[in-house]
Amino acid sequence: MDLKDALEDDLDDDELDHLVKSFEVVGDVAILEVPEELEHRKDIIGERLMELNSHIRTVLRETSGRKGEFRTRDYELIAGMDNIETIHKEHGCRFKLDPTKVYFSEKEATERQRIMEQVERGETIMAMFAGVGPFPIVIAREKDVNKIYAVELNPAACDYLEENIKLNKLEDTVVPLKGDVMDICPEYFGMCDRVLMPLPKDSDRFLDLAVKCLKDTGIVHYYSWSGEDGLYDKAKENLIEAGRRNNKETEIKDTRKVLPFAPRKWKICVDCVFKDKK
């Protein structure tokens, strides 16, 4: 039974047409959209969602898009417990977090797995905008890497990052670095085999920084927003221009749609190798 079926006796046909059936689950917290047309029915929607999924103890309604420097949303509690902190499990890893304080998307688990599978033994990796640590921790748990430097600006996310490194027993591999990538990354210029840039907002601003962190033939995983038309064109152009500015040759290795952002708009990733010019 899905959410719409569970609500057939509670909502009329018009209300059921407005129902957004999909929702995100982070640990034991469910996060969903309730449109204005169903504002007066939000409580019963939350209750039925909990009845349908016995492991869910809290239901949050999104009340804003992602905003601000830390890309968090506003939420309204519509069912269950008001202790929002949870532990999310993914690929054998555990992530403690409060989704009202930090950015985290369980929908990006497949992308984290994709990146992890590319990593080779002994790599040194720079994880920009590391959040609570999903990329570095998934990689470090599965691959025998040298070091992963995880940089995060949000104080709440930094605290969870440090806790999650300990929770997953990765203190010898993942190094949490609290602060702005602009200040921290220059200390690691020329040291990294791979740079992760999972924050798509204004990502072009940080490309030169990422390229400078690389060793010869290092790879950048560059994330951005794009419309359907010329889906990867602007991202590729940005990568090529960053190569030119830094006297590097570029080779596009892969492109991928990660998540839908809005109608006909996507979060995308372009993987690019940067080589020293001979």
Which tens digits make up the pLDDT trace of 146-181?
Answer: 999 999 999 999 999 999 999 999 999 999 999 999
CB neighbour list of residue 228: distance below 8 Å, 6 or more residues apart: 264, 265, 266
Does residue 1 have a pLDDT over 80? no
Q: What is the 3-state secondary structure (H, E, C) of 92-160?
A: CEEEEECCCCCCCCHHHHHHHHHHHHHCCCCCEEEECCCCCCHHHHHHHHHCCCCEEEEEECCHHHHHH
Query: What's the pLDDT tens digit per position in 42-87?
Result: 999 999 999 999 999 999 999 998 887 888 889 999 999 999 999 9
pLDDT, average across residues 125-146: 98
pTM for the predicted model, two decimal places: 0.93
Query: What's the pLDDT tens digit per position in 257-273?
Result: 999 988 889 999 999 99
Task: Determine how many CB atoms are found less than 10 A away from the CB of residue 193.
Answer: 20
- CATH number belonging to domain 3-84: 3.30.300.110
pLDDT for the residue numbered 66: 84
Per the listing, tokens 């591999």 go with 173
Query: What's the pLDDT tens digit per position in 8-39?
Result: 999 999 999 999 988 999 999 999 999 999 99
Query: What's the pLDDT tens digit per position in 196-235?
Result: 999 998 899 999 999 999 999 999 999 999 998 999 999 9
Of 272, 276, 195, which is closest to residue 239 (Cα–Cα)? 272
Where, residue-wise, is CATH 3.30.300.110 in the chain?
3-84
The angle at the Cα of 20, spanning 227 to 42, to the nearest 5 degrees, equals: 135
Where, residue-wise, is CATH 3.40.50.150 in the chain?
107-276
pLDDT for the residue numbered 154: 96
3 state DSSP class of 180: coil
pLDDT for the residue numbered 159: 98
pLDDT, average across residues 82-110: 95
The angle at the Cα of 156, spanning 171 to 266, to the nearest 5 degrees, equals: 95
* Domain 107-276 = CATH 3.40.50.150: yes
How many Å is the Cα radius of gyration of the chain? Answer: 20
pLDDT for the residue numbered 65: 85
State the Cα–Cα distance between residues 260 and 55, nearest whole angstrom. 27
Q: Are 166 and 198 in contact (CB under 8 A)?
A: no
